Structure 1
Amino acid sequence: MLVWFSVTPIGTGSGSVSAEVARALDAVEATGITHRTDPSGTLLEGTWEECMAAMRAAGDAVLESAPRVSFTCKFDVRTDKPGQTGADKLSSVAAKRGADR
């Protein structure tokens, strides 16, 4: 399972949310799940339970200093290719692009 998500702290009274996002990323990392962060969010690779636990940990970390947190999530659940990673998906697209050139 792949889950891309981002957290948005609300009500911190600050124009910057980088401290809360950093805490969220530390919490995700502490779960041990495979993940990769880009400027817009974080991609998780794991089981349903692992992904949900990592997102909950991220939300709980944000709530330590913000009264509210909003999540944006995208789920990719496949039964025909268990264990597919983000790198697998990118490799597949790259191979198809190379074949067309």
Structure 2
Amino acid sequence: MLVAFSVAPSGTGPKGGDNPEASVHDAVAAAVRIVRESGLPNRTDSMFTTIEGDWDECMDVIKRATEAVGEYGSRVALVLKADVRPGHTGEMTGKLERLEAALDAQA
């Protein structure tokens, strides 16, 4: 399965409150570190981090990343979208390769 997810702290915490310098980049970095250390195929862009693995692997990583972000605020917002396709692997790149081939065929 592929899971695209985003986590962000809110509420009060080390960088929360009325601090105008507050940003979520430190919290996101903590989450992305957990993702990268997991060994699962992953990709991070400006909006989401996508991981590939089975249910248990993906949900464990997402849970740990969410807990890490929780250190930066009193609440955590978690958004996720999953593409559950049993028996398929390599879809993080496979889906993009099929898209590019379709675009080339239409050109």
For residues 91 and 37 of structure 1, the distance between their equivalents in structure 2, rounded to whole angstroms, comes to 18
Residue matched to 2:7: 7
Identify unmatched segments of 5+ residues in structure 2.
Answer: none
For residues 38 and 90 of structure 2, the distance between their equivalents in structure 1, rounded to whole angstroms, comes to 20
Task: Using the TM superposition, name which of 90-99 and 28-37 deviates more.
Answer: 28-37
Residue matched to 1:99: 105
Task: Tell me the alpha carbon deviations over residues 15-67 of structure 1, each in whole angstroms, 9 at most, x when there is no partner.
Answer: 31111111111122222221110000101011111110110111111112321
Identify unmatched segments of 5+ residues in structure 1.
Answer: none
For residues 98 and 65 of structure 1, the distance between their equivalents in structure 2, rounded to whole angstroms, comes to 45
For residues 56 and 74 of structure 2, the distance between their equivalents in structure 1, rounded to whole angstroms, comes to 25
- 1 or 2, which has the higher strand percentage? 1
1:64 to 71, 78, 86: 71
Aligned-pair identity in percent equals: 40
Shift of 1:78: 1.0
SS in structure 2 at match of 1:3:
strand
For residues 66 and 33 of structure 1, the distance between their equivalents in structure 2, rounded to whole angstroms, comes to 27
Structure 2 length as normaliser, TM-score? 0.86
Letter aligned with residue 86 of structure 1: M
In the alignment, is residue 74 of structure 1 matched against residue 71 of structure 2? no
Task: Using the TM superposition, name which of 7-16 and 56-65 deviates more.
Answer: 7-16
Letter aligned with residue 63 of structure 1: G
What number of residue pairs does the alignment pair up?
100
Residue matched to 1:43: 50
